A = this chain, B = another copy of it.
Amino acid sequence: MNFVLEQAVEVLGHTPPTLNSLLREIPETWLVENEGPETWSPYDIVGHLIHGEETDWIPRAKIILEHGEARAFEPFDRVAMFEKSKGKSIAELLDMFAAFRKESLHELSAMKLTPALLEKRGKHPELGVVTLKQLLATWVVHDLGHVRQIVRVMAKQYRDAVGPWRAYLSILEE
């Protein structure tokens, strides 16, 4: 599928309500269990998505538009949420994510991106030259990847409980 800005924005707008439907009012045990040492719980992942809104996607888009390849992006702190989420309920985190995403999409819309601007190049600190279009496509895939991670973490809590069915359930082996 070719990247079409309006189609990408639709997915980005659907992520907060999707996580809200999945996680709000679910028993807490589903939120705090993870996949073992150094892995993330659904609660952690929502915090990670919030941090991305604050420091990753729109800030990087602005750097591309303002500085092109002349200024590399700030490295993204993938684990900042362990400090930043402390003391917050999942409901607070989901509300924050929805509000930040709404603001991000507002800012994106205000950029009035044309096909030419989408091809504008920036500099990733590790990956090198990337385009604004690639950044926005990555934002979409990053969202979907973390939804997939949340449901995988939840599913693995029943790895033993499913008994012989484990042979049919590939999500338990990822």
- Partner-B contacts on A (CB < 8 A): 1-3, 6-8, 10-11, 14, 17-18, 20-22, 25-27, 29-30, 33, 124, 127-131, 133-135, 137-138, 140-142, 144-145, 147-148, 151-152, 154-155, 157-158, 161-165, 167-172, 174
Give bound CA distance, A85 to B147, whole Å: 26
Task: Give the complex CA separation of A22 and B134 in angstroms.
Answer: 22
Contact among B141, B161, B167 for A171, CB-based, below 8 A:
B141
Copies in the complex: 2
Check if B30 sits within 8 Å of A7, measured CB to CB: yes
Q: Can you show 5 pairs from A to B with CB atoms below 8 A apart? A: A18-B18, A18-B21, A134-B163, A135-B165, A145-B151
A76 CB to closest chain B CB, in angstroms? 10
Task: Determine the main DSSP class of A at the interface with B.
Answer: helix
Having A3-B158, A124-B164, one finds 8 other A-B pairs with CB under 8 Å, namely: A11-B26, A14-B21, A127-B168, A137-B163, A141-B172, A145-B151, A147-B148, A148-B155
* A14 interface neighbour in B26, B133, B147, Cβ under 8 Å: B26
The 4 residue pairs across chains A and B that have the minimum distance between CB atoms: A137-B161, A134-B163, A1-B157, A145-B171
Q: Which residues of B contact A154 (CB under 8 A)?
A: 11, 144
Given contacts A30-B7, A171-B148, are A158 and B130 in contact (CB under 8 A)? no
